[in-house]
Each structure stands twice: as structure tokens, then as C-alpha cells.
Amino acid sequence: MKWRRALTRAGATALIALGAVVPAGAFAAYKMVPTTCTSSCAKQQTTYWCGPASTHFVLHSQGRSVAQSTLAKELGTTTGGTAIQNIPAVLNKYKRVSITYVHVPRTYITGISLVRSIITYAVDRNSCAIPCVNPYPYTNSAGYYSPGLPTYSGTKARGHYVAIRGYDISSTRDYVYYFDPHYDSSHYGTRRATVSAMARSILVKNYGSQGIVY
């Protein structure tokens, strides 16, 4: 836990310095955080409540059912969305897992390997990670390209929260399973993406609130 405490002070660079970034070939496991959240349990109740809905899903997987409206108020959610910096405090208030949630800004995320390590750390402790992604295929102003997440098409700059709840990582597989709380049923539910696609959907964001909470 030494490196995680350092992370809260110095950002994700501490993770790398203390050797926490592990290549995909070091894993040989499929793990999924269980949940009883089915049907429309955590579907976002407004077009801008993806933050409260993702937070609801994470807490629900721990046996805590907190209304999206309550979470939206505590997260300071507006029609413009939810500031990612507000999510850790709300998760830490209601959590039933023995970790302290932190926010890693996008500027501290150095690449795909770090995202992989963050995901496996969270899932291995029966928790989820909440990234702020651009779910659509997009190339940012610096020329960085993201293919987006599997159910999204077109080219848009949008911020969206999902909850990463599982992984399937070995020398031949490199996947994450994420819960999308989108109000549109074509996106809603647990989906699978490559670790690369998920990481790129975070890294492509050079606007607005960004990064990952775990």
C-alpha cells in the first residue's frame, strides 16, 4: 500500500517509480466484480447524470443503494456534468471496501500500462474504477487518436463516465469489462473493450474534466 499512499500525494508518477506498472503478459486471469444491478438499475436518470449513475453502480456492487438524486447533489452535478475531482469523496463516504478512492488526472496517465495496472488494482479489491472517457472515435488537437468504445460511432468530443468492473488479461488477451450507465439502451449495460481502447478514450481527452478514479 506504500505506493498507493504516495499516489494520493504525487499523482500516478509515483505508481511508476515504485514499480506498480505491470505488462499485460504478467496477468493470466479473468476477474469480474459481482453485482445484482441488472435491467435499468443504474441507467442514468437524466442526460447528464452519467457521473451519479456510475457512482451508484460502484456502490451498488458493494451492497450500498444510494439514489442517483442524492449522489448528484453530493457530487455537485449540474447540467454541464460532474467534476471528476468530486467523485472520490462521495465513494469514500459510502464505500464498503477497504481502499481509499483517489483521482488520477489525465496529465499523470503516461500510457496504456498504467491504465491496465489501475484497473487490475481496483478489480482485485472487489471495486471498480471510474474513468472520464470520450466514448466516440476522436482525434484531439494534438493529433492523438482514439477509436472510442465499441457501441459508439461517429466523431464527437464528449465527456462520459463508465465503471470498469472486470478484466480478462493474459499474454494473448487484453480486455476490460465496463458498465455503461447511458440512458440509451444501445449503450447501457456491461460491455467489453480492449485495454488500449479504454486507455485511449481517457488519454484523447484534452478538454474538460478528465482522468480516472479508483
> Residue 10's pLDDT is what?
44
Q: The domain containing residue 81 runs over which residues?
A: 2-213
Helix, strand, coil abundance in the chain, percent, nearest 5: 35, 20, 45
Q: What is the CATH number of the domain that holds 41?
A: 3.90.70.10
Residue 118: pLDDT over 50? yes
Residue 175: pLDDT over 80? yes
Tell me the pLDDT of the chain averaged across its residues.
Answer: 88
Which tens digits make up the pLDDT trace of 119-138? 999 999 999 999 999 999 99
Predicted TM-score of the model (pTM): 0.89
Residue 210: pLDDT over 50? yes
Exposure string over 122-148, b if 16+ CB within 10 A, otherwise e: bbeebbbbbbbbbbbbbeeeeeeebbb
Exposure on the CB side of residue 113, measured as CA atoms within 13 A:
12
Residue 11: pLDDT over 70? no
- Classify residue 117 by its DSSP letter: H
| Number of compact structural domains in the chain | 1
Closest by CA position to 200, among listed 151, 154, 134, 141: 134
Which tens digits make up the pLDDT trace of 56-90? 999 999 999 999 999 999 999 999 999 999 999 99
> Residue 38's pLDDT is what?
76
3 state SS of 84: helix
Residue the block writes with cell 505491470: 22
Which tens digits make up the pLDDT trace of 183-192? 999 999 999 9
Q: For the chain, first and last CA: distance in Å?
A: 14
